[in-house]
Amino acid sequence: MNLDQRLTDALDAAARTVPGDAVPPPAPVQPVRRTRPVLVIALAAAAVVAAVAVPVVVSRNSAQVSAGTCATPPAVEPLTFPQQNGTKPATPELDKLPFGEAPRVPFTMAPNREGSGGYLEDLGVRVPVEKGFTYFSLGRVDCGWIVARSRYGPGGELVMGRLDTSGAYSSFGLVLGDGMSVSPDRSEVAFVAPTEGGQARVTVRKVATGKETASWPTDPEAEVLGWNGDGIWFMPRGERSQTRVWKPGSEPLPVDTEGRRLTAYRTTDRILLSEPAQAGEDGQGPGPCVRVAELDGTRLKTLREQCGSSGAALSPDGKILVAEGAAVGAVVVDTGARTRLNLSPRLFHAAYPGIWEDDIHLLGQMGLGTDRDVLLRCDVVSGMCERIKDGPRQTSPAGPDLGRP
């Protein structure tokens, strides 16, 4: 039974046991769309965007399944996040946006920001989490989620593990460096773990058991940049010139990124090159351009370059590039067709850690001044955006804090 079906079965089982007054799973989203710019035509003509499907679908109409496939989540008290216009500073451009439904990715909610527990929610199903920790979801897996968590407060160490639909957390060990990634088939996870003598390794663990299946020595400051069909991408010592791609069972291959940061995605073999390194005293160095590329033997082949920006996000299917400039715009990688989001760059930041709900809906979380938190959803095909959350900062409840689907 595949990932989506197993988690769907668990969510359906939970839906049948939730009290009658609980909040039901959300209905399918109807994105905010007023016009269809040239990007839409180009997407259809080039078959760039196929029918959009949420990775895990909660359905009460699916075929009957045997009970006990996945643990049934315990019932929790739902928390709500504010949806209101701000007063300081005045932002009429933002205030005119409509409000949409909750994020369609895993996210956490807590009674406050003091590590008081709460739950992880995913498409309407809520799983309680242990008090005293902060959590971040790295991706859906069979009957749960790969989750990094740290004890709340200063000095809390980051630990990788699996959160089951029952709420149980299984630790895979301490995380060093930065970055971690679930494999394309969601059966394994890669991250930087400590070894004896103050050194480290890129470790690969089975999602089902936490057992290590492969490792490669590196340094404690290394970063996992992603995992796709070409292998696990990582960067020793935080130096972009040292970027490697590694297929367990063979030696890592050095890849020249020309001083740009590389980001790999488990859902496409196309990679993003962004945020060029600072130019030296002689003024030499890569300019403010971002690229979509793919590995061609031992080198990176550029498929699309967008100049005038050093920040960008690439869609999960690798077909749409969202970049900043005078405005935030979306570019079809294969055709160059463009559209513009109906928000200025100061209100929506396009960057490689961006979280997508699917191939066309990009989420953005930001703070305005010191008193306002906003979570936005933008349809990069139509260019229309909406608010999910808007309200005062540092208030209860805390969330939604987004994770990856």
The pLDDT, as a whole number, for residue 404 is 95
The pLDDT, as a whole number, for residue 24 is 37
The pLDDT, as a whole number, for residue 393 is 79
Torsion of CA 174, 163, 156, 80, to 10 degrees: 160
Q: Are 181 and 224 in contact (CB under 8 A)?
A: yes
Residue 236, preceding bond cis, omega within 30 degrees? no
Note the pLDDT tens digit of each residue in 345-365. 888 888 999 999 999 999 998
The pLDDT, as a whole number, for residue 54 is 29
User: Which residues make Cβ contacts (< 8 Å) with residue 368, sequence separation at least 6?
Assistant: 86, 89, 91, 94, 374
| pTM of the entire predicted model | 0.81
The Cα 14–Cα 124 span in angstroms is 10
The Cα 263–Cα 154 span in angstroms is 29
The Cα 280–Cα 382 span in angstroms is 40
Size (the chain), residues? 405
Neighbours of 214 (CB within 10 A): 16
User: Which residues make Cβ contacts (< 8 Å) with residue 139, sequence separation at least 6?
Assistant: 145, 146, 182, 186, 266, 403, 404, 405
Q: Are 85 and 373 in contact (CB under 8 A)?
A: no
Note the pLDDT tens digit of each residue in 196-219. 888 999 999 999 999 999 999 999
The pLDDT, as a whole number, for residue 367 is 72
Residue 93 φ/ψ, nearest 5 degrees: -60, -40
Report, as ranges of residue numbers, the positions in the chain whose pLDDT lies below 50.
1-8, 10-67, 280-281
The Cα 322–Cα 352 span in angstroms is 10
Taking phi first (over 0 means left), then psi (-120 to 50 degrees means alpha), and beta for anything else, what does residue 262 get?
beta
Neighbours of 128 (CB within 10 A): 17
Residue with tokens 């045997």: 66
The pLDDT, as a whole number, for residue 48 is 34
Instruction: Give the gyration radius of the chain's Cα atoms.
Output: 21
Residue with tokens 């990176």: 300
The Cα 382–Cα 391 span in angstroms is 26
Burial class (CB in 10 A: 0-12, 13-18, 19+), 174: middle
Across the strands, what pairs with 205?
189, 212
The Cα 372–Cα 86 span in angstroms is 7
